[in-house]
C-alpha cells in the first residue's frame, strides 16, 4: 500500500501518523507546506516540503488559499511519480483544499479542529472552500464526536470517528515522589485554552488551603505567556508558579508525571489529546464542558467536568484531590484503565488502515 499524506510536518500528530503507517509496511510520502525535521521521521518515509516550491502569502485568509493553485503542478507531479493508492489530507481547510484541487481519488480528509470550528466562520468564501473540500473527499475522519457533529454542518458525507490514540509505551505512570501537590497543564499559552482561568482557580485554592504545598506548572509557549506571568504576579502566586516555555513533544511524559492534577479549562477544544496523555500517566483531569473535552474524561471516575468560569468550584476540586487520598488514588487508577480501554494508539492506527483497504478496494 502507498499513501501520500498532505499535512504539517512540524505537527507531532503528523509525525505519529506517518511513522505508525510506515511501521505497518506502508510506503509513505509526506508533503508539507512547512519545512520538516528529518530526524522526527522514519528513514523510509519520503518527505517533500512545498515551502521550496512557492512563497505563500503572509495573509492567512483567502489570498493564502488562492496561492495553493500555484502548487497544483507540483502536487500532480508528485502524485504521478509516487503513484499512491490513497491521498490523505490532515486538516480540511489548507491541506484539504490542495488535495481537493488535485482531483485524485480515493481522497481522504481528516478534520482536526480549527479547520472546521473556526475557518468557515471567517467568511462566505471560507465556508464555500470548506464545503468544496469535504465534497471532494471520498471519506472523512474526525477525532471526536463533537468535531464530527460540527463537520456535518458542511457535508452530507458519512464521517468516521478515528481518535488520536495514546501510545501506552510512551505515556505511563512514573513515581516522582513530588514534595509539592502540583496542578498543571501542557497547552499553548493562549486565551482560547483558558490558562487565565486555571491561574485564578489555583490562586483561590491556595487561599482556601494555604497549608497544602501547592505548585502550578504551566508547560508551553505562546503569544499570551507574558500576560499570564503578570497575572500570576498580581495574584501573589508567582513564587509557586513555574512557566517552562516551549518543550519538545517527546519530553511531555516527564512533565505529566510531575503533575498531580491536569487541567484543561479551554474555551474551545475539538478533542483533548493532552488530557488523555495525562490520564495515561495516572493523572486525574479537570476539564471544561466544551467541545470534545467531555468525551475524554469519565466524570467523577477519571476526573471532573466543570462549567467554564466557575473558579470557586475548580479550586474546591483542587483541595478535594489534595486532601482525599483514597478518592485521588481511585481516580488515578481509573484514568489509566480508561485510556487503555478506549484510546489505545494501536487500535486507532489499525482502524485507519482498515478504512484504507476498504477504500482502495472500491476504486480498483
Query: How many CA atoms within 13 Å lie on the side-chain side of 105?
Result: 9
Q: Among 86, 132, 139, 85, which Cα is nearest to 111's?
A: 139
Give yes or no for a contact between 30 and 83, defined as CB atoms under 8 angstroms apart: no
Q: Mark the ranges of the chain whose per-residue pLDDT is less than 70.
A: 52-66, 176
DSSP 305: E
Give yes or no for a contact between 51 and 27, defined as CB atoms under 8 angstroms apart: no
* Model pLDDT, residue 31: 96
* Model pLDDT, residue 59: 43
- Which domains, ranges and CATH numbers included, belong to the chain? 2-165+345-363 (3.40.50.2000), 181-342 (3.40.50.2000)
Q: Which residue has the cell 504551566?
A: 218
Full-model pTM: 0.83
Give yes or no for a contact between 21 and 45, defined as CB atoms under 8 angstroms apart: no
Supply the angle between the helices 195-208 and 311-323 in degrees, to the nearest 10: 60
Query: How many CA atoms within 13 Å lie on the side-chain side of 328?
Result: 15
CA distances from 159 to 41, 110, 148, 245 (A): 29, 9, 6, 36
Residue 4, beta-bridge partner list: 29, 87
* Model pLDDT, residue 278: 98
CA distances from 284 to 88, 127, 209 (A): 34, 38, 20
Q: What values do phi and psi take at 198, rounded to 5?
A: -65, -45
* Model pLDDT, residue 363: 84
List pLDDT tens digits, range 77-110. Answer: 999 999 999 999 999 999 999 999 999 999 999 9
Q: Among 323, 322, 321, which Cα is nearest to 302's?
A: 321
* Model pLDDT, residue 66: 64
* Model pLDDT, residue 36: 87
Amino acid at each position: 500500500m502507498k499513501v501520500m499524506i498532505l499535512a504539517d510536518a512540524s505537527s507531532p500528530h503528523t509525525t505519529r501518523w506517518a511513522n505508525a503507517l510506515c511501521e505497518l509496511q506502508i510506503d509513505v510520502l509526506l508533503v508539507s507546506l512547512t519545512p520538516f525535521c528529518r530526524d522526527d521521521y522514519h528513514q523510509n518515509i519520503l518527505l517533500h516540503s512545498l515551502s521550496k516550491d512557492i512563497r505563500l502569502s503572509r495573509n492567512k485568509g483567502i489570498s493564502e488559499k488562492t496561492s495553493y493553485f500555484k502548487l497544483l503542478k507540483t502536487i500532480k507531479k508528485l502524485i504521478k511519480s509516487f503513484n499512491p493508492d490513497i491521498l490523505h489530507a490532515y486538516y480540511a481547510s489548507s491541506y484539504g483544499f490542495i488535495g481537493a484541487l488535485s482531483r485524485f481519488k480515493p481522497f481522504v480528509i481528516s478534520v482536526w479542529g480549527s479547520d472546521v470550528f473556526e475557518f468557515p466562520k471567517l467568511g462566505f468564501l471560507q465556508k464555500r472552500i470548506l464545503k468544496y473540500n469535504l465534497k471532494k473527499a471520498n471519506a472523512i475522519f474526525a477525532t471526536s464526536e463533537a468535531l464530527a457533529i460540527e463537520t456535518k454542518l458542511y457535508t452530507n458525507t458519512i464521517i468516521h470517528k478515528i481518535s488520536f490514540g495514546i501510545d501506552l509505551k510512551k505515556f505511563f505512570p512514573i513515581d516522582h515522589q513530588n514534595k509539592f501537590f502540583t496542578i498543571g497543564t501542557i497547552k499553548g499559552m493562549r486565551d482560547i485554552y483558558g490558562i487565565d482561568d486555571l491561574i485564578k482557580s489555583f490562586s483561590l485554592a491556595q487561599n482556601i488551603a494555604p497549608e497544602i504545598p501547592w505548585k502550578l506548572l504551566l508547560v508551553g509557549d505562546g503569544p499570551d505567556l507574558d500576560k499570564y506571568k503578570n497575572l500570576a504576579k498580581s495574584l501573589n502566586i508567582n513564587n509557586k508558579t513555574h512557566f517552562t516555555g516551549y518543550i519538545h513533544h517527546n519530553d511531555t511524559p516527564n512533565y505529566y508525571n510531575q503533575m498531580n492534577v491536569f487541567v484543561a479549562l479551554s474555551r474551545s477544544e475539538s478533542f483533548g489529546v493532552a488530557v488523555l496523555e495525562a490520564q495515561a500517566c495516572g493523572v486525574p483531569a479537570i476539564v471544561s464542558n466544551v467541545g470534545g473535552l467531555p468525551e475524554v474524561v469519565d466524570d467523577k471516575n477519571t476526573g471532573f467536568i466543570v462549567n467554564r468560569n466557575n473558579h470557586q468550584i475548580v479550586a474546591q476540586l483542587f483541595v478535594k484531590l489534595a486532601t482525599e487520598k483514597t478518592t485521588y488514588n481511585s481516580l488515578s487508577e481509573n484514568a489509566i484503565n480508561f485510556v487503555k480501554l478506549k484510546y489505545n494508539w494501536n487500535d486507532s492506527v489499525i482502524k485507519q488502515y482498515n478504512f484504507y483497504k476498504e477504500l482502495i478496494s472500491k476504486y480498483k
